[in-house]
Amino acid sequence: MALNHDLLGVESDPFERSWTSRDTLLYALGVGAGLDDPLTELPFTTENSTGVPQRVLPTFAVLAAQAPTGRRLGDFDPARLVHAEQGFELHRELPPAGELRTTSRITGIHDKRSGALVSTEARAVDPASGKLVVRSWSGVFIRGEGGFGGDPGSRDNWSEPLRPPDSTVTYATRPEQALLYRLSGDRNPLHSDPAFAARAGFDRPILHGLCTYGVTGRALLHTLADSDPARFASMSGRFTSPVYPGEDLTVSIWREGNTALFRTARDDGTVVIDRGRATFRDT
């Protein structure tokens, strides 16, 4: 069956998600915290270091605000679906352990000819106060589901500044990075099963897009916000090429006041996250 366009704009039922200190520690390790030097990111990788209270990497907000929709988008081969874009706004720092209530809705089903881009927005609130904590938005591209004559969607006006980056940060990933990251909840076999990866056109499993996103978020946090999650306000970007576990990632950052543009690339220069934007707060 074709994609179910009747789902457009329909809000999901509320979903409550909780997490523990262990979850946020595991997430930090999953996106490479402490890989280069185990002592440099102890606030995110330990809960009992002397004089170092545990804190949470801001990109964990994307996982904290995820919720099952309980609705079937359509009948298609899941190997044809890839994560295309991701963004979030964080209205307050997340605690090491906590809970959010999330609702989501599909905001667009766009015809890209070779496939369909399905856009979703989620809003996660504090269950006790009802105050907004995270607004998250994402897009998935489903190959072969385009050509239905729908709206192609708007174009982004992002452009690379006409100057060298103000900062470049390179982080390694582990050969087993995807196996570690999947323990935070994304068990998509594209990132672990060679046979499934082959169906999607890859010679071996690829790294989760949100793992690459988390590695990039660490670079932005340490470079733009002095490693203070309370100062990290928002981040967005588009996934443009796959990453294989074990590849290095270089984040190029152009800073303009409390806003920055960024790109993430592999060793060979291939851009893997493009059209990146981030904002951060004053001290």
So what's the pLDDT on residue 207? 97
- Among 191, 203, 222, 248, the active-site one is 191
So what's the pLDDT on residue 257? 94
Q: Given the structure tokens 């994560």, which residue do they identify?
A: 83
- Among 23, 83, 186, 274, the active-site one is 186
So what's the pLDDT on residue 6? 73
So what's the pLDDT on residue 263? 98
So what's the pLDDT on residue 79? 73
Q: Is the dihedral of CA 133, 88, 121, 95 positive or negative?
A: negative
Burial (CB < 10 A; 0-12, 13-18, 19+), residue 184, is buried
Q: What's the CA angle centered on 281, arms 89 and 104, to 5 degrees? A: 5
Helices (H), ranges, 149-274: 177-181, 194-199, 209-224
Residue 247 to residues 6, 85, 104, 263: CA-CA distances in angstroms? 41, 21, 34, 16
Amino acid present at 67: A
Residue count of the chain: 283
Would you say 207 and 179 are in contact if contact means Cβ atoms under 8 Å apart?
no
Q: List average pLDDT for each run of 10 residues in the chain, which is 283 residues long.
A: 73 94 98 96 98 98 87 73 93 98 92 85 97 96 77 82 97 98 95 93 95 98 98 98 97 97 97 98 89
So what's the pLDDT on residue 70? 60
Q: What's the CA angle centered on 251, arms 115 and 259, to 5 degrees? A: 90
110 is catalytic: no
186 is catalytic: yes
Would you say 117 and 110 are in contact if contact means Cβ atoms under 8 Å apart?
yes
So what's the pLDDT on residue 71? 66
Domains (ranges, CATH) in the chain?
A: 7-280 (3.10.129.10)
So what's the pLDDT on residue 69? 66
- Residues β-bridged to residue 232: 280
Residue 111 to residues 7, 114, 151, 220: CA-CA distances in angstroms? 16, 8, 6, 32
